[in-house]
Amino acid sequence: MQLTVDLRSDTVTKPTTGMLDAMMSAKVGDDVFGEDETVTALEQKAAAMFGMEAGLFCPSGTMTNQIAIKCFTQPLDELIADQTAHVYRYEGGGIAFNSAVSTRLLNGDRGRVTAEMIEPEINAENVHFPRTSLVVLENTVNKGGGSCYTLADIKPIADLCQKHSLKLHLDGARIFNALAATGDNAIDYGKYFNGISICLSKGLGAPVGSVLLASKETIQYARRVRKVLGGGMRQAGFLAAAGIYALDHHVERLKIDHAHAQILGRALAQCSWVSHVVPPDTNIVLFDTAVPADDIIKKLDQKGVRCMSTGPNRIRFVLHLDVHPEQVEYAVVVLRNLEI
């Protein structure tokens, strides 16, 4: 029997029955007036989890990142990030547009950078140079195939930022995958970062939403920036309820997605048409193909296995809560029997 297995992204999930029930029974109000108790509960819950003072519920991860960059820089400043960073590559040039800030790119290991890489790129005080004011890390790294930092990796970077009075922001769209893989505690993240973006609509399975976490003062300003970007939402508690449900029910299970990624990684390594599999650290499997990626994608699609290319000879599989064990088994059979 042909199944459908959608491995294009962990954003394709649909709300579960439990999540829909939570949404339907949410108590709501006008959040722009500060009167939506479910939104407030989500913001407080997420902030407490990460040891931060306050949170701001936003429609997307892009918005939380862009607001954070606006909060932590002034026009004419420069931020430092890896060349694969989502904030630079996949947010439509928003760093320049929203914040009038330039970007200094590093060449990290699957998107992971070190204090040694950052330090020489911090500009000296000189009118020729933009003022370096912010470092942005991503955990896990999307383009790195779900590679992740431990808190021990992050500490020297946080120390360096403190030494040079730089702000440190975390694009944590998949931070819960990093926590599942490393065993680090979420609450310790608050010690190192000035801002943290978490996404509820990736592996956690909510239909919409991200939360920016920071100090009370930063969030107060962030609320203004969200408004000016058109992100002030009214009875958003229906969406926040999905987020609360996701934090309560869909964090523990991320380990299953990681195990599924391992299974698919092993199956791919056996395929004659696969030239290299990037070791899957979390829920993403990146691999290189000996023939054009689009040919493989078409053939997989005919068998119900949907995926995307990230380069002419590179394909990405992303595991998530709507990929069940029997679908993983089915995908393995399809991979084994694919005629190239």
Ligand X SMILES: *Cc1c(COP(=O)(O)O)cnc(C)c1O
Q: Shortest CA distance to 77 belongs to which of 153, 158, 134?
A: 134
Minimum distance of ligand X from residue 61's CB (angstroms): 2
Minimum distance of ligand X from residue 107's CB (angstroms): 18
Minimum distance of ligand X from residue 291's CB (angstroms): 27
Minimum distance of ligand X from residue 165's CB (angstroms): 25
Minimum distance of ligand X from residue 90's CB (angstroms): 7
**From 70-78, 198-206, 249-257, 323-331, span contacting ligand X (CB under 6 A):** 198-206
Total site size for ligand X, rule CB under 6 A:
13
Alpha helices in the chain (DSSP H): 17-24, 37-49, 61-72, 86-89, 94-99, 115-118, 151-163, 175-182, 216-228, 237-249, 254-269, 293-302, 325-337
Beta bridge partners, 171, equal 138, 197
Q: Shortest CA distance to 310 belongs to which of 293, 323, 335, 290?
A: 293
Q: DSSP assignment, residue 86? A: H
Residue tagged 């403190």 (tokens) = 162
Q: Binding string to ligand X for residues 34 to 73, with x set by CB under 6 A, is what?
A: --------------------------xxx--x--------
* Element of type H or E holding 102: strand 102-106
Cα gap 317→265, rounded to integer Å: 9
Q: Is 110 in the site for ligand X (CB under 6 A)?
A: no
Q: Is 210 in the site for ligand X (CB under 6 A)?
A: yes
Q: Is 138 in the site for ligand X (CB under 6 A)?
A: yes
Q: Binding string to ligand X for residues 143 to 172, with x set by CB under 6 A, is what?
A: ----------------------------x-
Among 46, 71, 160, 173, binds ligand X (CB under 6 A): 173
Considering the complex, state which of residue 209 and residue 334 has its C-beta at the smaller distance from ligand X. Answer: 209
Chain-centroid distance, C-alpha 197: 8
Considering the complex, state which of residue 77 and residue 138 has its C-beta at the smaller distance from ligand X. Answer: 138
Minimum distance of ligand X from residue 171's CB (angstroms): 5
Tell me the backbone φ, ψ of residue 277, rounded to 5 degrees.
-115, 125
Q: Is 108 in the site for ligand X (CB under 6 A)?
A: no
Q: Binding string to ligand X for residues 237 to 266, with x set by CB under 6 A, is what?
A: ------------------------------
Half-sphere exposure of 315 (CA within 13 A, CB side): 29
Minimum distance of ligand X from residue 143's CB (angstroms): 8
Among 7, 46, 49, 86, binds ligand X (CB under 6 A): 86
Considering the complex, state which of residue 99 and residue 142 has its C-beta at the smaller distance from ligand X. Answer: 142
Residue tagged 């760093």 (tokens) = 95
Minimum distance of ligand X from residue 78's CB (angstroms): 20
Joined together, the tokens standing for residue 226 give: 């969200």
* Element of type H or E holding 286: strand 284-289
Joined together, the tokens standing for residue 45 give: 């819950």
Residue nearest to ligand X as judged by C-beta position: 61
Q: Is 266 helix (H, G, I), strand (E, B) or coil?
A: helix
Minimum distance of ligand X from residue 65's CB (angstroms): 6
Cα gap 276→287, rounded to integer Å: 6
Cα gap 106→10, rounded to integer Å: 27
**Is the bond preceding residue 84 a cis peptide, omega within 30 degrees?**
no
Considering the complex, state which of residue 132 and residue 201 has its C-beta at the smaller distance from ligand X. Answer: 201
Contact residues for ligand X, defined by CB under 6 A: 60-62, 65, 86, 138, 142, 171, 173, 199, 201-202, 210
